[in-house]
Amino acid sequence: MVMKTRAIVAVTQPEYEKGRAEFNRAEAEGTICLPAPRDEEGLAATIRSQKARHVICGVELYKGELYEALPRGGVIARFGVGFDSIDLEKAKEHGLLCTNTPGVLDESVAEHTIALMLSAARNLTIHDEGTRSGLWLPKTGIELHGKRLAIIGAGSIGSRVARIAAFGFGMTVIGSEIREIDWEEKRRQYGFQKLVKDFGEAVEDADFVSLHIPSNTSTQHFINIERLNMMTKRSWLINTSRGEIVDESALFDALNEHRIAGAALDVFESEPYSAVDPAKDIRTLPNVIMTPHVASDTAEANQRMAKRALRNIMLAERGEFDQMDLVN
In this structure, are residues 277 and 250 in contact, taking their beta carbons and an 8 Å threshold? no
Burial of residue 193 (number of CB atoms within 10 Å: 0-12, 13-18, 19+): middle
For residue 118, the SS3 value is helix
What angle (nearest 5°) sits at the alpha carbon of residue 141, between those of residues 138 and 146?
165
Burial of residue 145 (number of CB atoms within 10 Å: 0-12, 13-18, 19+): exposed
Q: Which of 148, 293, 304, 308 is catalytic?
A: 293
Q: Is 271 a catalytic residue?
A: yes
Q: Is the dihedral of CA 235, 120, 114, 163 positive or negative?
A: negative
Q: Which of 68, 93, 226, 271 is catalytic?
A: 271
Q: Is 242 a catalytic residue?
A: yes
CA distance 325 to 169: 34
Q: Is the dihedral of CA 162, 144, 214, 41 positive or negative?
A: negative
Q: Is 188 a catalytic residue?
A: no
Q: Which of 242, 244, 248, 304 is catalytic?
A: 242
Please list the active-site residues: 242, 271, 293
